[in-house]
Amino acid sequence: MKTYALPRLHREPAWHVATAAILLLGSAAVVNGADVIRTIDGDRLAVTVTGSSRDGLTIEDREGTQQLVSVAEIIDVQFEGEPQELRTARNLLARGRGGDALAELAKIDADTAGRLTDLMKADQAFLAAASTAETALLDSGNGPRLREAGREVLAFATAHPQSFRYYRTRELIGDLLAASGDTAKASEYYDQLAAGPAAMKIRAATARGRMLLAAGDSCWSGGGV
């Protein structure tokens, strides 16, 4: 795992406490007056995020040094000065509560929305699309809802082609297509996911395996061979 010569707020064990760590981001960012990136090795980096690309987030430390944090290493990010509703929605989505996340995002009024930075606006749009997708996947028998959620995620990806959330959109669209029964098209999106860093290849293989297993279960339940 890459080591960053940047201010760290705290260190936690990695994946198995990721959600708990995300919930702790709020107070850390306020105290340190910085954007905060949570990484898979347990670090929370206090930095200034200056840009986003499919490869990850470009950051600047207090000495003005810029570098890239790979998308493969990012669990999540919190932006300095973002509204509480955005932060809460992000936390709720991480806990699998997409419906509650959408309700929280709906509380952001026009005045607050007008003060968001471009990075915050992009994250707000992603959280809305991802939350819609996650709630649709819980109702996987509802084809129209799955298709509408897919269109929303695709619209986000089209509007923000250099978002560090790009590979996550490939995974979500693939999952939505798989749930609607279009395994061939889903595989195309999983291929796009696999075109990313090594960690994305693993995610794509896992998603594809999950899809094929579900298709097999459906075949057996329907009496197919």
CATH of segment(s) 1-81:
2.30.30
Note the pLDDT tens digit of each residue in 165-202. 999 999 999 999 999 999 999 999 999 999 999 999 99
The token pair at 90 is: 């992000």
- SS3 state at 172: helix
Domains in the chain: boundaries: 1-81, 83-225
The residue with greater pLDDT, 113 or 221, is: 113
Same fold for the pair 1-81 and 83-225:
no
Give CA–CA dist 133/17, Å, rounded. Answer: 24
Note the pLDDT tens digit of each residue in 109-161. 999 999 999 999 999 999 999 999 999 999 988 999 999 999 999 999 999 99
Give CA–CA dist 137/119, Å, rounded. Answer: 27
CATH of segment(s) 83-225:
1.25.40.10
Partners of 37 in the β-ladder = 45, 77
Q: What is the β-pairing status of strands 74-78 and 43-53? A: unpaired
Compute the mean pLDDT over every residue in the chain, rounded to the nearest whole number: 86
Is the overall model pTM greater than 0.85, yes or no? no
